[in-house]
Structure 1
Amino acid sequence: MQCSKTPLPVRTFLVLWFLALFIFLPARLYAHGTFEDPVSRVYQCYLENPESPDSQACWAAIQLAGTQQFYDWSAINRFDANDQHRAIIDDGELCSGGKASHAGLDLARNDWVTQEIVPDAYGNYEFTFIAWAPHGTKYFDFYVTKEGYDPTQPLKWSDLEDEPFCHITSVTLADGRYKMSCKLPEGKTGKHLIYNIWQRSDSPEAFYTCMDVVFTESDVTPVPITPSPTPTPDPDACLVDYQITSDWGHGFTANVTLHNNSVAVWNGWRVTWGYSANQQVTSLWDGVYTQDGSQVEVTHAEWNRTVAPGASVTFGFQGTYSGTNQPPLNFLCNNGLSTAPTTTS
């Protein structure tokens, strides 16, 4: 008995159909995300309608590189990055990630739509990233342009401040988004560009985002950064636990837990301490930190700013040191002296 075979033309058609389906699937199905707040340059043009955008800058980008770059708003990526961002992306091509498909985003113009960003009373701002396809995160680095930035000139690496003003190493996915609280850089006013690099931890791949922003001072009375030199001790209001969770001789990780022992809800919190050795905090999660010499200050993230009476909040960090890794002796919690901290290692 001879088995029947699919006629060659039908088989050929099926093969070609599946190949076409694979090849022409929208690139965004394999892409990964962009910033929603503040809105990224590419996502702004997408929201305006890639076929008929409202702004002249988006129209000009279409004339150079077509409309597909806006449909592929989550695909400004480089598979070969591996932390070598400045080596693989040339000056003038930062917003496209060096990809010809998104070259319209590199146009040097003064009329890209901007978003005003206003810090909260602690100087922080919550960035929102649409995670179309979540990946392992090595870091999100946020850079900002230097004073004197001219948007009518092609964006160069040297136009950015040397160090990121915010370095995030741990993110939590909620409702398809990553929310990251960052302390905004001081002294920035007017029009600037924020440049973000998302480096994956599970691949050499990285993603790049340009955000056109206008820095505006908060109209909320700022919380004083420097505490009173002689604060009134309130040992029952806040108890601090400082725990070294890992130590490998020149670096360490630690968790800090703040216990709300008062009768009031904390609507925002802050803790400061001083090191007696030369410890340096290099990254921190579930909070926002600054360090000036030996003095460290940590404030809440947006998602953990509220702490009920009897509850606690924990943040962790990684640091380096040489010599002896001596724990801090005194903590200042919400501008009041904490009881003697519990320290474990």
Structure 2
Amino acid sequence: MRMRSTSRSAVRRRSVLTVVLGLVAGMFLWVPAASAHGTIVSPATRAYHCWQAWGSQHTNPAMQQEDPMCWQAFQANADTMWNWMSALRDGLKGNFQGATPDGQLCSNALARNDSLNNPGPWKTTSLGSSFAMHLYDQASHGADYFRVYVSKNGFDPATQRLGWGNLDFITQTGKYAPAKDITFNVQTSGAYRGNHVVFTIWQASHQDQTYMWCSDVNFG
């Protein structure tokens, strides 16, 4: 009788364990789908650059000297880089400036990503006056439009946080159908030289979700 009782107890424990493991597995399967969005990968946004350059070696002490802005971002909150695709806010209804204070543009006013607003020697992408922008979107949301700005001449991203008054509006695109990769061309006046910030707003099509990013560039 004791052996049968032990057997029933073991079966019950195995059944409970199976249910728990199933729930845990379900949670892990659900998380990527919920967090799948996108970002501008070229010219790389701040978080995407840090993830691309250091994600596989984020504990490398060389980062502090070689890429100090990524180092401070990883120290502040490594999740900023792991979730480079999720810098979004819901329900802004187009009120981008009213809902986003000066100095918080590069983080899309998300407190968890505030390190992206910090001025300093961010790594840059070299551009000409005409350049292509590439959105990679894991979930293929499409776009109602993109708005692209460039920081004004005289603004120094190494010493200043970006505000709305520091931006020149360049262009707003039309709609884009859902796709993982969306590329569009931007033409500036050619008046920009040296280090600037390209600030992009992506208004996704599937619902009122707004993404904002800073890409550090060098105009030759």
Could you say if the C-alpha distance between residues 150 and 60 of structure 1 is closer, same or farther in structure 2, counting changes exceeding 3 Å?
A: same
1:100 to 111, 127, 133: 111
What is the aligned partner in structure 2 of residue 288 from structure 1? none
Using CA pairs under 8 Å that are at least 6 residues apart, name the structure with larger relative contact order, 1 or 2: 2
* CA-CA distance at 1:207 after TM superposition: 1.0
Q: Distance in 2 between matches of 1:114 and 1:107?
A: 15
1:2-17 alignment, distance < 5 Å: 7=12, 10-11=15-16, 14=19
Give the Å deviation of 1:101. 2.2
Instruction: Encode CA deviations 1:67-96: one digit per residue, 9 max, x unaligned.
Output: 121111111111222212222222211111
2:43 to 21, 38, 56: 38
CA distance change for structure 1 residues 156 and 13 in 2, over 3 Å: closer, same or farther?
A: farther
Instruction: Report whether the alignment pairs 1:157 with 2:164.
Output: yes
Once superposed, what is the RMSD of the aligned Cα atoms?
2.7
Greater C-alpha radius of gyration: 1
Structure (1 or 2) with the greater strand fraction = 1
Distance 1:69 1:76 in 2: 8
CA distance in 1, matches of 2:211, 2:18: 37
Q: Structure 1 residue 115 and structure 2 residue 125: aligned? A: yes
The residue aligned with 1:88 is 99
TM-score (norm 2): 0.80
1:209-248 to structure 2, matched below 5 A, reads 209-216=213-220
Gaps of 5+ in 2: 1-10
Q: How do residues 1-345 of structure 1 correspond to structure 2 at under 5 angstroms?
A: 7=12, 10-11=15-16, 14=19, 18=23, 21-22=26-27, 30-50=35-55, 51=58, 52=60, 53=63, 54-65=66-77, 67-109=78-120, 111-119=121-129, 124-151=130-157, 152-161=159-168, 164-171=169-176, 176-216=180-220
Task: Verify the 8 A CA contact 1:82 1:199 in the aligned structure 2.
Answer: no
Q: Distance in 1 between matches of 2:68 and 2:205?
A: 38
- Secondary structure of 2:155's aligned partner: coil
Q: Determine helix, strand or coil for the equivalent of 1:49.
A: helix
Instruction: Give TM-score, length-normalised by structure 1.
Output: 0.53
Amino acid at match of 1:160: L
Aligned partners of 1:30 and 1:133 also within 8 Å: no
